[in-house]
A and B are shown apart, each in its own frame.
Chain A
């Protein structure tokens, strides 16, 4: 069964360091999402790609976060510099549908701890 792949599963870093997360969506899925889930809360959308284009990054803290999906397939989310408040689970999801929210398929997430 096709899955959304994410790495690393766990990352511990010190504040002010740079971190990066990678996501490989299900083959053929044009839409890719990065969500952030703080412990005890629901996922919140950070950025949404349609192929290689960003369609929504309104909630992405652009002073320290960046995301790219250069060839419209896999994607990287970067944080530089990391802050204590960035400790969270970073979830990647993909969807085949465009212009209509079909089922989102989630990866297992990357848990970030900032010390």
Chain B
């Protein structure tokens, strides 16, 4: 069964500082990997996705993520955080087949200090 681990429950960074959110996955085949962001009381918005090809993927809002097969990781990064980036971030892994679905991690809450 596929699974995702986000080891950091809560991270606080200063505005303008760099950010890295960790994600480790477990999946038997080539994974499809996603990062979603959720503002309080809202649904989830896709930041970026990895299916194949270049292991460094660019997303919206200046985010990027790097797929490292050897480490089973898909960490999310941003070089300079803005106060509006404060939210909950979820990593997810997708499978293929008839019942294709996303399995989410428990999330990392990002707080940005001014």
Contact = CB atoms under 8 A, between A and B. Distances in A.
Contact of A108 (B43, B94, B98): B43
A109 B106 contact: no
B99 A106 contact: no
Given A43-B90, A101-B32, A107 B99 contact: no
A109 B40 CA distance: 11
- Chain A interface extent, by class: 20 to 34
A106 B44 contact: yes
Given A43-B90, A50-B98, A111 B41 contact: yes
A34 to B, nearest CB: 11
B71 interface: no
A101 B41 contact: no
Interface in B77-100: 90, 92, 94-100
14 contacts: A98-B100, A100-B96, A101-B95, A101-B96, A101-B100, A103-B46, A104-B46, A105-B46, A106-B44, A106-B45, A109-B41, A109-B42, A109-B43, A111-B41
Interface of B: 4, 32, 34, 36, 41-46, 49, 90, 92, 94-107
